[in-house]
């Protein structure tokens, strides 16, 4: 993450840090209304935001989005930091940044989960982590439920509710370029084009080229491997892989 990577137009390899005593001086000025000092604090702590946002799953949100949300947490930390506290600014800022990122992912989850269910799930995760840390083993749902004094079924349902959904185009595993996608596991010869229509893919598939459409149907609805398709249509496996990837990218774009 800290190599030369551009995020939100910022070259992360050029990010600077500020000594702690200088941070406190700038914080004092910023709280007195000095906009330049506030800007210096923000720029001087972007590396911290980069580090914290890097802990979050980029499959749910882009690195750019996570970085921007983390910056909001940083700004809140700057504006609310109490200079009378005998703590380092980063000690206060990190939980603020994490909290902002968690709120963002919670509020923008594709599946809405009630606060009570979500809170139970996070409490259950806390118990699970505690048992793993102190006893070096995986906790059972029954153990977690007993510690929280709630029904086992409630814990199980809460944990399932916060599991992140995956795309049908996510790869399950791959051998070189011949990858297996989630949709491969869902394909069924009996379902045919009606299954495609039921997933609202018809319009998106219509936008594909003839060869791309042929490859998608052979791969995902007839169970062919890339090597088998390559032999059938007389091109290399590498070409099949590129065409398949291009077709999937188009489907994602058309369906978003």
The CATH code of the domain that includes 238 is 1.10.10.10
Residue 10 vs residue 251, higher pLDDT: 251
- Which is higher by pLDDT, 180 or 240? 240
Q: What is the mean pLDDT of residues 82-94?
A: 86
Query: pLDDT of 116-144, one tens digit each?
Result: 887 888 888 888 888 877 877 778 889 99
pLDDT at 66: 87
Q: Residues 74-82: what's their mean pLDDT?
A: 91
Task: Answer whether 0.75 is exceeded by the pTM.
Answer: no
Number of CB atoms found within 10 A of residue 245's CB: 12
Is the pLDDT at 34 greater than 80? The verdict is: yes
Which domain does 192 fall in, by range?
171-255
Give me the number of domains the chain comprises. Answer: 3
Position 44 in a domain: yes
Does residue 239 have a pLDDT over 70?
yes
Do 29 and 98 fall into the same domain?
yes
């Amino acid at each position: 993450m800290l190599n030369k990577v551009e995020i939100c137009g910022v070259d992360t390899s050029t990010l600077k840090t500020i000594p702690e005593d200088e941070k406190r001086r700038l914080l004092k000025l910023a709280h007195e209304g000095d906009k330049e000092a506030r800007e210096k604090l923000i720029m001087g702590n972007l590396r911290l935001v980069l580090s914290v946002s890097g802990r979050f799953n980029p499959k749910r949100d882009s690195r750019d989005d996570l970085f921007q949300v983390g910056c909001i947490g940083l700004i809140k930390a700057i504006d609310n930091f109490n200079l009378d506290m005998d703590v380092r600014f980063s000690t206060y800022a990190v939980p603020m940044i994490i909290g902002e990122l968690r709120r963002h992912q919670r509020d923008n989850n594709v599946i809405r989960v009630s606060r009570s269910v979500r809170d139970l799930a996070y409490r259950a995760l806390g118990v699970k982590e505690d048992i793993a840390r102190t006893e070096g083993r995986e906790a059972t749902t029954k153990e977690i439920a007993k510690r929280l004094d709630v029904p086992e079924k409630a814990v199980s349902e809460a944990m399932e509710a916060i599991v992140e959904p995956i795309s049908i185009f996510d790869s399950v595993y791959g051998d070189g370029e011949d990858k297996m996608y989630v949709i491969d596991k869902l394909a069924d010869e009996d379902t045919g084009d009606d299954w495609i229509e039921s997933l609202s893919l018809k319009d998106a598939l219509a936008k594909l080229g003839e060869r791309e459409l042929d490859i998608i149907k052979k791969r995902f609805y007839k169970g062919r491997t890339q090597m088998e398709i390559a032999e059938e249509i007389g091109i290399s496996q590498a070409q099949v892989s590129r065409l398949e990837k291009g077709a999937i990218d188009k489907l994602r774009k058309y369906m978003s």
